[in-house]
């Protein structure tokens, strides 16, 4: 299995000299199974350079798994070049939106309104298919089993576990570890704590034993109190998840867009200094645009 990062920044693309080492594109991760089946995690701006590399292997069938519909995770979809070429297939997977009452097809429909983009969906030359997923209901994509899990973010967000040929990856999308929003003396504290515990246990099981964990690590421990409730994790929470899951490799991603590469490395090193590496611990890495990890 191969994992390649095409976009690792969060919230908004941040190109420029201060982000050139780790990259300025928003979230997009390419997965290749051992049978070369193409699965793409999220369609941020990083999907555009990815799509350029696919022109040498047309026709392609691209299975895109959308974690959630915030702009930084979908804004590259209209620029996915194979969509404009006959013979290709884009199969878009994602969650049902309880607010709009629509499935994942809304992700394309909203962006491709003529007021916002010059090419309407009806004018796309590729075949576009939609698969609306349900939490913890696995689907088969070629040799890969894909299972979505509800994570903790202000909108419905799926984390995805991918398993193929005895290898596994888990991607959190945007995720903040659950916590009790009630005060200890509130009437609903115990009931909500039971919900939090159940949520944590489900996510722990979803991550258990993965070879590669790719986790939202937007903030430092010091920054988190001011960002609590925004739906993002920290370097520390990702390290704790990786240890609990007995993951082999942790990739910290969704880098804060205002953080330069130098500041990113400094924040990462500070987090590692608080978690002395022990035998059997995961290999901790910063996700870097262009990096390919094969296992």
Structure tokens at 285: 């890495």
Say whether 283 sits in a helix, a strand or coil: strand
Q: Residue 233's pLDDT is what?
A: 98
The residue whose two tokens read 């969906």 is 121
What is the number of alpha carbons within 13 Å of residue 35 lying toward its C-beta? Answer: 9
pLDDT digits over 209-261, tens only?
Answer: 999 999 999 999 999 999 999 999 999 999 999 999 999 999 999 999 999 99
Q: Residue 99's pLDDT is what?
A: 84
Q: Residue 59's pLDDT is what?
A: 97
pLDDT digits over 14-37, tens only?
Answer: 999 999 999 999 999 999 999 999
Q: Rounded mean pLDDT of 156-181?
A: 97
Say whether 203 sits in a helix, a strand or coil: helix
Residue 205 banded pLDDT, cuts 50, 70, 90: very high
pLDDT digits over 40-59, tens only?
Answer: 999 999 999 999 999 999 99
| Percent of the chain with pLDDT strictly greater than 90 | 97
- How far apart (Å, rounded) are the C-alpha atoms in residues 156 and 217? 19
Structure tokens at 180: 């009790």
**Greatest Cα pair distance in the chain:** 62
90, 64 in Cβ contact below 8 A?
yes
* pLDDT of 203 above 90: yes
Q: Residue 276's pLDDT is what?
A: 86
Q: Which domain holds residue 54?
A: 2-294
* pLDDT of 181 above 90: yes
6, 48 in Cβ contact below 8 A?
no
Q: Residue 137's pLDDT is what?
A: 98
- How far apart (Å, rounded) are the C-alpha atoms in residues 133 and 125? 25
DSSP 214: E
281, 245 in Cβ contact below 8 A?
no
Angstrom distances, CA of residue 109 to CA of 41, 74, 84, 95, 117: 19, 12, 16, 15, 11
Residue 100 banded pLDDT, cuts 50, 70, 90: confident
Residue 196 banded pLDDT, cuts 50, 70, 90: very high
The C-alpha angle with vertex 245 and arms to 295 and 26, in degrees rounded to 5, equals 65
* pLDDT of 129 above 90: yes
Listed residue (122, 71, 68, 137) closest to 97, CA to CA: 68
Q: Residue 92's pLDDT is what?
A: 98
Considering its fold, how many domains does the chain have in total? 1
176, 233 in Cβ contact below 8 A?
yes
CATH number at residue 83: 3.60.15.10
- How far apart (Å, rounded) are the C-alpha atoms in residues 9 and 193? 32
Q: How many other CB atoms are found less than 10 A from the CB of residue 284? A: 21
> Is the Cα dihedral 224, 205, 143, 34 positive or negative?
positive
Mean pLDDT of the chain: 97
pLDDT digits over 2-17, tens only?
Answer: 999 999 999 999 999 9
Structure tokens at 202: 């489900």
């Amino acid at each position: 299995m191969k994992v390649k990062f095409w976009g690792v920044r969060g919230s908004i693309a941040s190109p420029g000299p201060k982000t050139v080492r780790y990259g300025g594109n928003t979230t997009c991760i390419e997965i290749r199974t051992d049978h070369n089946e193409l699965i793409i995690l999220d369609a941020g701006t990083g999907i555009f350079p990815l799509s350029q590399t696919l022109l040498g292997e047309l026709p392609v069938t691209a299975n895109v798994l959308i974690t959630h519909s915030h702009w930084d995770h979908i804004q590259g979809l209209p620029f996915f070049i194979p969509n404009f070429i006959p013979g290709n297939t884009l199969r878009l997977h994602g969650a049902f939106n309880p607010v709009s009452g629509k499935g994942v097809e809304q992700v394309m429909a909203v962006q491709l309104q003529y007021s916002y983009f010059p090419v309407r969906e009806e004018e796309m030359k590729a075949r576009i298919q939609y698969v609306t997923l349900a939490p913890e209901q696995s689907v088969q994509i070629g040799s890969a089993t894909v299972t979505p899990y509800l994570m903790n973010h202000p909108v419905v967000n799926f984390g995805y576990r991918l398993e193929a040929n005895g290898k596994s990856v888990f991607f959190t999308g945007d995720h903040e570890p659950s916590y009790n929003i009630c005060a200890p003396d509130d009437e609903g504290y115990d009931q909500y704590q039971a919900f939090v515990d159940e949520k944590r246990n489900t996510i722990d099981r979803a991550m258990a034993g993965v070879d590669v964990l790719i986790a939202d690590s937007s903030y430092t421990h010091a920054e988190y109190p001011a960002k609590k409730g925004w739906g993002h994790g920290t370097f520390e929470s990702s390290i704790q998840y990786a240890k609990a899951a007995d993951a082999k490799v942790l990739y910290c991603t969704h880098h804060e867009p205002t953080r330069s590469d130098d500041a990113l490395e400094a924040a990462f090193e500070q987090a590692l200094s608080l978690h002395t590496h022990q035998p059997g611990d995961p290999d901790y890495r910063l996700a870097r645009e262009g990096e390919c990890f094969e296992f």
